[in-house]
Amino acid sequence: MHNFDLKNKSAIVTGGAQGFGLDIAKRFIKSGSKVSIWDIDETELKKASNNINSKNLRFDVVDVSNFTQVKNAVEKIAENNNVDILVNSAGITGPTAELWNYTIEDWLKIIEINLHGTFYCCKAVIPHMIKNNYGRIVNIASVSGKDGNANASAYSSSKAGVIGLTKSLGKELALNNIAVNAVTPAGANTRILDQMSNEHVQRMLSKVPKGRFLEVHELTSMVCWLSSEENSFSTAAVFDISGGRSTY
């Protein structure tokens, strides 16, 4: 497994208590970075902290859909460290249902966490990156943001929004040595699948030419490269990791 050089870097990983976020945090620390993991679940954060067991890890209970909490957490970190890397991994799928049967409350919650949460974190972090003339932002979108998934209109819409945000923001920051990219994974064997019906999960799997779900470490490797100084030219881009499901 390739070793990435993230020495002397400081990262924030949202949704870092489990799934993609936790694996990314582990790999960042092994690559030399200081990492702050954010999650709304303090119990899971403590488990993750004990699991990683590193002096270079801190955790903060942060609801990414609350801008005040996000801004305060960023300012607290920035008192002692630069914010070099931001990985927006926090997200929920919500219920699987036809659009006309979606409750307005469920729709708004998914958009607020997945799309607005990404916006809030970027808004709070970017001024610090501009000040330091350096930054790497990776937004975890989804192949559903490209293709759309039936019975997941809110989730698909939120991830399409993250893709659009990434493309716009990357262009805005192109001259500031700040790279902003998105990754679009297909389904992976993480706890997020527990939020979906078995029928929906099997429908997702049937669309992947490789015939299997994504392994978490495969996405982590891509995120690590995008978060490193080696990525000096790719920005405002969308990197597919869907086992052949999407080819654009």
What single DSSP character describes residue 115?
I
Looking at residue 205, its pLDDT comes to: 79
pLDDT at 1 over 70: no
Looking at residue 243, its pLDDT comes to: 83
The reply to whether 155 belongs to the active site is yes
Give the integer Cα–Cα distance in Å for 216 and 190. 8
> Which of these, 133, 145, 230, 113, lies nearest to 175 by C-alpha position?
133
pLDDT at 196 over 70: no
pLDDT at 190 over 90: no
The CA angle 215-218-195, to the nearest 5 degrees, is 40
pLDDT tens per residue across span 124-167:
999 999 999 999 999 999 999 999 989 999 999 999 999 999 99
The H or E element that residue 86 is part of is strand 85-88
Give the integer Cα–Cα distance in Å for 154 and 152. 6
Looking at residue 193, its pLDDT comes to: 66
CATH superfamily of 10-241: NAD(P)-binding Rossmann-like Domain (3.40.50.720)
Report percent pLDDT > 90 for the chain: 83
Q: Give the per-residue SS3 of 147-194.
A: HCCCCCHHHHHHHHHHHHHHHHHHHHCCCCCEEEEEEEECCECCHHHH
Looking at residue 63, its pLDDT comes to: 98
pLDDT averaged over the chain?
94
> Which of these, 234, 232, 224, lies nearest to 32 by C-alpha position?
224
Active-site residue, selected from the candidate residues 102, 120, 134, 155:
155
> Which of these, 154, 156, 141, lies nearest to 238 by C-alpha position?
141
pLDDT confidence bin for 209, thresholds 50/70/90: confident
